Chain A
Amino acid sequence: MDYEPTPAEARAALEVVERGRLRVIEQIDVPGWYWWGLALGWIGLGVITDLAHPWITAAATLAFGAIHSAIAPRVIDGRRRSPQLSVRSDVVGRRLPQLVLGGLLLLAGVTVAGSLALAADGAGHPVTIASVVVAFVIALGGPQLLAVVRRRAVQAGPRA
């Protein structure tokens, strides 16, 4: 090699590399409408469960699952916040979709358990109440989860 930078120049160049990586990491996100839509759907399903016939509840649950299955794969990988770039999956971390779906399964369990506990306590509309609580967790916790994912991507270092 003809030219070798000084250690100070090399350090400055590495900072340039890191700034580029951080610019891309800032673009890791799941759209806000996904969390709010999910939260509203969760509440809607809770209300239907409390008020409607079990067949209608079953149909609504299937519809909710089908709509979510159609939308989620396109947004929960966290790689396309901006239409101007696609973040590499190894920068985001390959486990984000599993984390989101696992979290939703856990929250479904929490909703059922909460509803049963509220029903045992004699509350009116127990599923609606439990769904509203879980909907808040989704709407507020989803963006927090992505903040954690971005922090972990920063800590992972420039090994993309």
Chain B
Amino acid sequence: MSVPRFDELIHPATRLSIVALLAASDWVEFAFIRDQLALSDSALSKQLSTLDEAGYVRIERTVSNHRRRVLAHLTPAGRAAFRGHVAALEAIVARAAPGATQRN
């Protein structure tokens, strides 16, 4: 069970979508993320750079069958931040659920 910790860097919808894809994968190719989320190359590069600078994502450039590939991995720090963020979102929803103990 992760400790709830709201993460403002992950929270914007596009970044959250990217991290959610990476969280369920060992690695994902740049093109897959771009196509699944209907993003432009530049928009996705910008978001990945932000996550990379935060230490949440690692970018790997490889060549396979004469084709250049850019692979994105979620780092352990990124995974921990994502889990904490999801736990924080779940806690917010749970607090608002009917019958939940009201906080003052």
Contact = CB atoms under 8 A, between A and B. Distances in A.
A87 interface: yes
A16 B17 contact: yes
Contact of B21 (A2, A6, A13, A23): A23
A88 B82 CA distance: 15
B53 interface: no
B93 A20 contact: no
B96 interface: yes
Interface residues of B, number: 27
Given A19-B17, A88-B24, A14 B93 contact: yes
Contacts of A23: 21, 36
Given A86-B25, A86-B27, A158 B86 contact: yes
Majority SS of interface residues in chain B? helix
A1 interface: yes
Contacts of A98: none
Contact of A160 (B6, B24, B29): B24
B32 A82 contact: yes
B20 interface: yes
B24 A24 contact: yes
Interface in B1-24: 6, 8, 11, 13, 16-21, 23-24
Interface residues of A, number: 31
Contact of B26 (A3, A13, A18, A88): A88
Nearest to B7: A1
Given A7-B96, A84-B31, A1 B21 contact: no
B93 A1 contact: no
A21 interface: yes
Given A4-B6, A10-B89, A86 B20 contact: no
B86 A17 contact: yes
Interface string A1-35: 11111110011011011111101110000000000
Given A18-B20, A24-B24, A85-B32, 16 more contacts: A5-B89, A5-B92, A7-B96, A10-B96, A13-B11, A16-B16, A16-B17, A19-B20, A20-B16, A21-B20, A21-B24, A84-B31, A85-B28, A85-B29, A88-B24, A160-B24
Interface of B: 6, 8, 11, 13, 16-21, 23-29, 31-32, 36, 86, 89-90, 92-93, 95-96
